[in-house]
Amino acid sequence: EKEILTLGIESSCDETSAAVLRGGRTVLSNVISTQIPIHQKFGGVVPEIASRKHIVNIMPVIDEAVRQAGVTLTDIDQVAVTYGPGLVGALLVGVSAAKALAFALDKPLIGVNHLEGHIFANFLAEPTLEPPFMALVVSGGHTALVDVRGYDTFHMMGQTRDDAAGEAFDKIARVMGLPYPGGPRIDALAKEGDPLAIDFPRALEEKGNYEFSFSGLKSAVLNYINSEKMKGHELRKADIAASFQHSVVEVLVEKAFDAVQRAGRDTLVLAGGVAANSGLEARLRERAAETGVRFFYPSRILCTDNAAMIACRGYYQAKHGDFSDLYLNAVPGLGL
Ligand code: KG4
Ligand code: ZN
């Protein structure tokens, strides 16, 4: 029996991506066209420009994904697309392209939640992974601990009350004069700094609390930078980056392992763009080794926005008969 080919499409923020998946876990292609250089001069993503670029890129990216997979469009069995959360204009481009293709090819359409896609990147990275497991989702827009009880059963343990972890990384980098996106820059700077140089606050540290809050930390770092500037001091950027990152990482690691224990899980996975953070990954790996918890995280390319993870999530939804109709719309504030 022929294995199902799923075309995945992702356009929720500043990456236009298309991928072809064979079965649930074999990536035949994963084409990503990033707009980062375009948005860099504005210090962040400009939604209107993002939508326009997605329109220009979407069909060439889909064609390239199909070509790289060594198939043709007519071989595709189903089309999976991110319909939220994200920027409405950006989402609409992917959703419209997916609906047009599904209609023209007369193949099923599957609307995918972007956050679930990030979690499912781990199935691509680790062939032996099966639910149940705990997922720490840390992206530019979200920070959450999700108990993945089955392929279609997710229990939200807790999420951020205010800023997402990635948002804090980007904001602090911006104030230090580093280009967008700030996460990777802070990560690199932090390697040269002292994580204990400055004592930044940590929020909601009590055990059993799985909510996050990063706005207080963000303000503390911004205040520190302003007061240093006012005193005419040279900014110790590496120490600021290292101390800030340390504060974020410690909170994420403590809560993640507390949640693993509370839910009685033996496996933890990392998901979302901030999963690419080397300090976070190192600390989680260390704690996992100490506690005997299995720990997986996707490769860099599968951590940040990509369509392979969307195709993977779509494949498992389709297995459960969870299809969308051609009225599928973008839902910018879609939750888990
Ligand atoms: O998941 P993602 O690609 O987009 C969203 O769905 O939000 O995440 C992007 C976020 C940005 O905030 C970026 O600064 C952050 O991930 N990021 C990092 C690193 N690489 C990307 N944050 C910290 N360290 C990194 N190495
Ligand atoms: Zn994302």
Position in ligand 1 atom list of the atom nearest CA 173: 14
Ligand nearest to the backbone CA of 188: 1
Find out whether 8 is annotated in a ligand binding site. no
Residue 211 has pLDDT above 60, yes or no: yes
What pLDDT digit, counting tens, does each position of 265-319 carry? 999 999 999 999 999 999 999 999 999 999 999 999 999 999 999 999 999 999 9
Same domain? For 182 and 266 the reply is: yes
Q: Residue 333 falls within a domain, yes or no? A: no
DSSP state of 97: H
CB of residue 113 inside a 6 A radius of ligand 1: no
Residue 224 has pLDDT above 90, yes or no: yes
- The best mutation among 36, 159, 169, 176 to test binding of ligand 1, ranked by most ligand atoms within 8 Å of the C-beta, falls on 169
Query: What DSSP line would sit under 167-205, residue for residue?
Result: HHHHHHHHHTTPPSSHHHHHHHHHTTS-TTSS-------
- With tokens 């001091």, the residue in question is 233
Same domain? For 91 and 232 the reply is: no
Q: How much is the mean pLDDT over the chain? A: 96
- Name the residue with the closest Cα to ligand 1, atom 16: 273
- The alpha carbon of 71 and the centre of ligand 1 are apart by a number of angstroms equal to 32
Instruction: Tell me the CATH number at 243.
Output: 3.30.420.40
Find out whether 63 is annotated in a ligand binding site. no
**What does the pLDDT read at residue 267?**
98
What pLDDT digit, counting tens, does each position of 73-109 carry? 999 999 999 999 999 999 999 999 999 999 999 999 9
Query: What DSSP line would sit under 236-304, residue for residue?
Result: -HHHHHHHHHHHHHHHHHHHHHHHHHHHT-SEEEEESGGGG-HHHHHHHHHHHHHHT-EEE---HHHHS
DSSP state of 43: T
Find out whether 114 is annotated in a ligand binding site. yes
Same domain? For 66 and 171 the reply is: no
User: What residues make up the domain containing 43?
Assistant: 5-119+303-319
**What does the pLDDT read at residue 146?**
98
What pLDDT digit, counting tens, does each position of 130-157 carry? 999 999 999 998 999 999 999 999 999 9
CA angle at 157 for the pair 254 and 286, rounded to the nearest 5°: 25
Question: How confident is residue 1, by pLDDT bands cut at 50, 70 and 90?
Answer: low
CB of residue 85 inside a 6 A radius of ligand 1: no
Find out whether 141 is annotated in a ligand binding site. yes
Q: Residue 198 falls within a domain, yes or no? A: yes
Q: What distance, in Å, lies between the first and last C-alpha atoms of the chain?
A: 34
Same domain? For 294 and 309 the reply is: no
**What does the pLDDT read at residue 316?**
98
